[in-house]
Amino acid sequence: MKLPGLLLVFLAPHRATGLHSNFLSHNDIIEFIANGHVYLKDMLPQLREESFRVAHNYARDEASKAYERYSIEKLGCNETDMDYLTRVENGDGALALKDCFEYAKDNRHEQSKPFYQLVDLHEHSKAIAEIAMGEHIASIAADLLQVDRVRLFQTRTFRKVPQKDKTMEQIFNHATYMHTDLKMVPIDTNQFFTFWCPLRNVTAEDSVLTYARGSHRDASSKLWYGNASPRQLQGTYEPEREEEVKFWKKKQCPKEPQDPFFEFEELEEPACKIPPLHVRRGLNERFQHKLKKRRGESQRIETEYSEINGGAKDRYDIDIYDKINLGDCVAHHGWLLHGATSQRSSSGPREAIALSYVHADDYKLLSKEDREGIPFLEDGFEDEIMFWQWYYDVKDGAIIDHPKLPLVWPPQSKGMEPSVNETNECDSTDNTESLEDDMH
């Protein structure tokens, strides 16, 4: 097989295999480059250890409190007579945040429901820091990105928890519509990706991850449809944004009526259609068969599957992993469109850890005044928690050299240990009823 010349340049040999890592194969890298995602079997076997579960549960609880405090302060609820922050410290943070949102909605016209961003797990657990910043995973990251220098961008945990209360279900177990991670990252780069690793075996009975194959390489959609609403392009329309879609339809669509590229009951008029890149052979028939076998919630899950993929399912092949075992991970590119259904009530919580990496020598995004393109974080503050600790210290357009973005490859001095907020992780217990939302 003859590889493209550019790929051969990137695969300059470091060892006999030509790779930094002893874990990956060249086929893994080619699959990642071509499809935007790759399944890595048994990449992190230490996730199966009881000690990791304890460490993760503690880090998750600390990250939950951090996000609840951050969101309550951002929404201004701490300025009211109700003591929201005290409720967070007393373990009632999820309900406190729900009440805070209701207050903000009534008094400040906030519309979108918050979702939990449980970040910086490596700062709360030495065990997680050693995995996230260790030579094994860092070498894999360098090979997938095809670079010689890599930084850890973020560590997160995602947890979908079915709820009986409708509002809580929407907050803590919503379907995740098609999106790209790099749209929420203030770095000017194409070299960014995330490992998604479940913390138990997941099957088709759980929340299903979907990936729009090759969408990270689809420059034509941005070139020819770049003036359309990003939510239209990505199929991430939400019912409460109907007026926004109608605005873009009036601005962008031709006068002649066209078939909608996505369909929602709330949308009376069709939006612009983005043509498919090729003729589809039908929608993943094997998965559709699995959907039909589900009971009780099958119609809801099938409807979600159609809605979360939006226009992407008409333009790309949709890849689905209906079985991911504990210890296995899926790596996906930062520009790859992906989403997930909600979690089945009968399956209980579904939890995963995500570790994101970026080329070490890329630059902080310029301000919107100094560049063309869509504004960054135009929809609100909730993603800012992923980067606020370094964002305001680094100048616009400067290299992202900051202690909060540690260099993990090449390997640092063996005498250096990751900085962790030292606490007794062994005191943590697995609170399976805790309310934590999941973007994936």
Whether 309 is in a domain gets the answer yes
Q: Over 90: is that where the pLDDT of 85 sits?
A: no
pLDDT tens-digit profile of 181-214?
998 899 999 999 999 999 999 988 888 888 999 9
How far from 200 is each of 1, 160, 322, CA to CA, in Å? 37, 13, 13
349 preceded by cis ω (within 30°)?
Answer: no
Whether 332 is in a domain gets the answer yes
Q: Over 70: is that where the pLDDT of 396 sits?
A: yes
Q: Over 60: is that where the pLDDT of 69 sits?
A: yes
Whether 168 is in a domain gets the answer yes
CA 83 to CA 37: how far, in whole Å? 44
Beta pairing partners, 154: 356
Q: pLDDT: is 77 or 276 the higher one? A: 77
Whether 164 is in a domain gets the answer yes
Q: Over 80: is that where the pLDDT of 147 sits?
A: yes
Q: Which helix (H) or strand (E) holds 133?
A: none
pLDDT tens-digit profile of 240-261?
445 544 444 444 444 433 333 3
Mean pLDDT of the residues in the chain? 76
Q: pLDDT: is 193 or 78 the higher one? A: 193
Q: The domain containing residue 344 runs over which residues?
A: 26-48+115-225+297-373+383-409
Whether 301 is in a domain gets the answer yes
Q: pLDDT: is 256 or 94 the higher one? A: 94
Average pLDDT on 51-77 reads 90
pTM: 0.78
Q: Over 70: is that where the pLDDT of 359 sits?
A: yes
Yes or no: say if 94 and 68 are a contact pair by the CB < 8 Å rule.
yes
Residue 79 phi, psi (nearest 5): -90, -5
Average pLDDT on 270-292 reads 43
Radius of gyration of the chain (CA): 22
Whether 405 is in a domain gets the answer yes
User: Angle at the Cα of 30 (from 29 to 34), degrees rounded to 5?
Assistant: 120
**Confidence band for 418, pLDDT divided at 50, 70 and 90:** low
Q: Over 90: is that where the pLDDT of 128 sits?
A: yes
Percent of the chain with pLDDT over 90: 37
User: Angle at the Cα of 226 (from 358 to 398), degrees rounded to 5?
Assistant: 35
Number of domains within the chain: 1
Q: pLDDT: is 308 or 145 the higher one? A: 145
User: Please, which residues have CB within 8 angstroms of residue 292's CB and are 6 or more apart in sequence?
Assistant: 298
**Of 267-271, 286-290, 349-353, which gets the smallest average pLDDT?**
267-271
pLDDT for 81 equals: 59
pLDDT for 384 equals: 83
Q: Over 60: is that where the pLDDT of 334 sits?
A: yes
**Confidence band for 348, pLDDT divided at 50, 70 and 90:** confident
Average pLDDT on 335-356 reads 89
**Confidence band for 262, pLDDT divided at 50, 70 and 90:** very low
User: Please, which residues have CB within 8 angstroms of residue 337's CB and are 6 or more apart in sequence?
Assistant: 178, 179, 180, 211, 212, 215, 216, 234, 235, 312, 316
CATH number at residue 36: 2.60.120.620
pLDDT for 188 equals: 95
Whether 368 is in a domain gets the answer yes
pLDDT for 301 equals: 66
Whether 235 is in a domain gets the answer no
Q: Over 60: is that where the pLDDT of 427 sits?
A: no
